[in-house]
Structure 1
């Protein structure tokens, strides 16, 4: 079944539109460990989809302890950024299959496309440059976790995407991502459609436990969901 076309589609980056081999979570664990933390796999998983400076601060705060100040956190964030840049140089990220074509179809139909991510602007700029996605090549706006007061599950990146694309009605917005935090942010924003995609960090069982309107194998299936191509390619 197709759904009404939204005015804006807001998409996560790593794991949703971009395949970066889950390097960001390996690097997150490495950075926390290098700075004295002892994160478990479950600890890292709880921060999937988050703003990375928020994740680093939380993962380096012992139970009942005092969170790092911004000044103390700054070199940790710089270390994370350097490690992630090196990881991406060693294994360059690439667009997930069918995603560039899907984004082009959405935009050709008059639907605005925004990317949002927990990465800060420096990481995003280098990532988009490596993909050839600078400017308005594939999206009408790009919003980073460092652009807003709080990252997911707060809805502020979605609201910033609406502001930057001139979309005023959140009931005309579709949000999609591969983590529970993506779904929580979409729900918190009041978006009409909150779509989990199975191309990244979370499986159907994990995403299905959180409020959503649809689960899809990939962003590549969005044009079919919106009636822009054969709907038989859409998973229920």
Structure 2
């Protein structure tokens, strides 16, 4: 065999081995993963799957209205609107509600189709009433600050006598109002000592009249001499 043929024959297996090795390296490179993040740029991707199951049950009924002038913390009185289906306010006109300034009055509907329309009020007052017709269970509140008398009525039932009044006074407990019954002497607004002085004066007058009548009727005393021997 010539030297040239020997070299050619030997180079064929070597070339085959080199090609095989190159192919193996290429396959190994394809099986790898290289991630490069450019400087100054980042991307974050997050995928999540979750299930949140909950049940919230709530019920609420708003059946009242509070006037803008209603204030918390002061005394409170109640007026029943149409009690037991009757066409009146309670307290009403025959027994007006007397309250002190700053008292909140809560109007409670006890029957249907009634409202509160303002008939008259003090000049400085700004009570608007509640002219929307409401049914049983509704409430409305207003705080009365200005002294004076407030008259109001139910528009559908005014001719039936459904009218009432509220009196705002400095001392609502003096002289009755908002309720009947006997009053203690000191609750009438006069110190109790004055009542005793008045009673004593009347008693003194009565005693004086009786004594004067006795003197005029029977004349001189029995110990006075008659002048006879």
Query: TM-score range with shorter-chain normalisation?
Result: under 0.3
For the pair shown, the structure with the greater C-alpha radius of gyration is 2
TM-score (norm 1): 0.22
TM-score (norm 2): 0.22
Give the number of the structure whose residues are more often strand, by fraction: 2
Which structure exhibits the higher relative contact order, with contacts defined as CA atoms closer than 8 Å and separated by 6 or more residues?
Answer: 1
